[in-house]
Amino acid sequence: MHPNSFIRTATFRVAAMQALAFALVVAALFGLVWREIHTYVADQLRTAVEVETASLREAARAGTLEPQIRQRLSVKQEGADYYLLSDAGGNHIAGNLLFHPTMAGWQRVPIHNAYGIHKGHANQVDLFVTRLDGGKWLTVGRDNRDIGELDENLGRYFFFSVGVAMLFALLSGGIAGHIFVKSVDRLSARAERIVTGEEVGPLRLERGSAEFVRLAGRLNRILERVHTLMENMRQVSNDIAHDLRTPLTRLRQRLESAAELDHEPMQQRAAIERSIADVDGVLATFGALLRISRIQARERRAGFAPVDLSELFSSMADTYAPVAEDAGHFVSARVQPGLAFKGDKALLTQMLSNLIENAIHHTPVGTRITLSLMASIEGVIGCVEDTGPGIPATDHKRVFHRFVRLDSSRTSPGSGLGLALVAAIAELHRVPVALFDRKPGLAIEMRFT
């Protein structure tokens, strides 16, 4: 991926926002730490000045205050650098401060009021003024050079820490984003090759997180669905081209024959009626194909509702019993009551109807047809069973394809779409359908789970 393209990605923007948020958090925490350290050091400095003042007050009581101040100024100390002893009128007696005290307590004065010492980083001096016996003023102070140096050092550490934190966040976010984008690109490239036909098979990720594995699984289901729909379209086109050519050719021949029967109206009428029947058959075939396509294109199952399977199987057996009897067949039912399934009742009725009609039309006279519905540990098992000749095991899967008609059923009416419609409805409801030989007979089993 080009660097500019990566910068424009949402992944990079998220990484940048994370870096900024991380830097803000570090800055806030560092500010709190700096304030605590600054306050602690300032308190320690004031404590040192107060301790020094107490020591000099003891020296004043002993009469050695002036020598003590001169000694401290001659020996450079880090604890208290500023001293002033003045009389009651504020006149300088000893020390290195140009300061006229007027009140006791803590005061802050500019550094230029002091003389005779290195100013360093100090800008101001914190002074502690106390009144001695006899009216004299004792002033002890210390500049804030330590605090200034501390602030400078902490400032450098702060900018360094924030910079490192932002750099780390950007690098880590960038690396994570790069890995993410590479995975997306790899997945997209493979999907594109599969769509264009350069590769065959499902998407596979040699490397990737669990999220991408799940994404690849969902994309595989989408691609499989698209592939199935495309295959169905190709199959429908081939089926229409091959299987509808014969009835359309026959229709054309009959119409040509009818056109030559101008002087024989009875025969002409019969030819036209047969042609109309052929047209009705073609229209019925197109209707069945359209219905199968619509069922296979359905992806939403939100319209499903609980269906009483026990009532459905029982009512279908009662409905087809007279029809089967007229054809010389016998229909019976073994149905366990109170069994239900969530689905489309009209489509489930159509599926069961096609199975029963298929058994009636393609089995010899005297065949017994049994509808059964029982609960099991695997779900509800429905079955349409007959005692007819059955279907060869090699054709068990093929009979669910469109326009497939076995040799034994080519003389009977039909378009070869009945079981294809059953397969489409079963797939929509996620109901596995399987064929079993009963020797004699055939059982078509449905598992409602």
Residue 385 token pair: 């069973």
Q: What three-state secondary structure class fits 346?
A: helix
pLDDT at 297 over 60: yes
pLDDT at 381 over 90: yes
Winning range, highest mean pLDDT, from 194-198, 393-397, 408-412: 393-397
Between residues 227 and 34, the one the model is more confident about: 34
Torsion over CA: 187, 188, 194, 199 (sign): negative
Question: How much is the pLDDT for 209?
Answer: 63
Residue 58 neighbours by CB under 8 Å, 6+ apart? none
pLDDT at 328 over 80: yes
**How far, in Å, CA of 405 to CA of 416, rounded?**
5
The Cβ-side half-sphere exposure at 3, using a 13 Å CA radius, reads 0
**How far, in Å, CA of 100 to CA of 309, rounded?**
107
Tell me which amino acid residue 189 is: A
Sort 413 into a burial class: Cβ within 10 Å, 0-12 / 13-18 / 19+: exposed
Q: What does the pLDDT look like over 50-94, one tens digit per residue? A: 898 898 888 888 888 888 888 888 876 554 578 888 888 878 888
Question: How much is the pLDDT for 154?
Answer: 81
DSSP 307-332: EEHHHHHHHHHHHHHHHHHHTT-EEE
Question: How much is the pLDDT for 341?
Answer: 93
Report the predicted TM-score, pTM, of the whole model to 2 decimal places: 0.50
| Residue 7: pLDDT band with limits 50, 70, 90 | low
Averaged pLDDT of the chain? 79
Write the Ramachandran bin of 342: left for phi over 0, alpha for psi from -120 to 50, otherwise beta.
beta
pLDDT at 161 over 70: yes
* Residue 440: cis peptide before it, omega within 30 degrees of 0: yes
| Residue 205: pLDDT band with limits 50, 70, 90 | low
Give exposure, 103-124, as e/b (b: 16+ Cβ within 10 Å). eeeebebebebbeeeeeeebee
**Residue 16: closest CA among 166, 148, 156, 162:** 166
Give the whole-number percent of the chain exceeding pLDDT 90: 16
Instruction: Look at 28-42, 274-288, 345-359, 415-429 and tell me which has the smallest mean pLDDT.
Output: 274-288
Task: Tokens 């002087």: give the residue.
Answer: 263
Q: What does the pLDDT look like over 277-294, one tens digit per residue? A: 777 777 777 776 677 766
Gyration radius of the chain over CA positions = 50
Residue 181 neighbours by CB under 8 Å, 6+ apart? 1, 6, 9, 11
Question: How much is the pLDDT for 410?
Answer: 45
Residue 332 token pair: 């019976």
The answer to whether 40 and 121 are in contact (CB under 8 A) is: no
**How far, in Å, CA of 248 to CA of 250, rounded?**
5
| Residue 413: pLDDT band with limits 50, 70, 90 | low
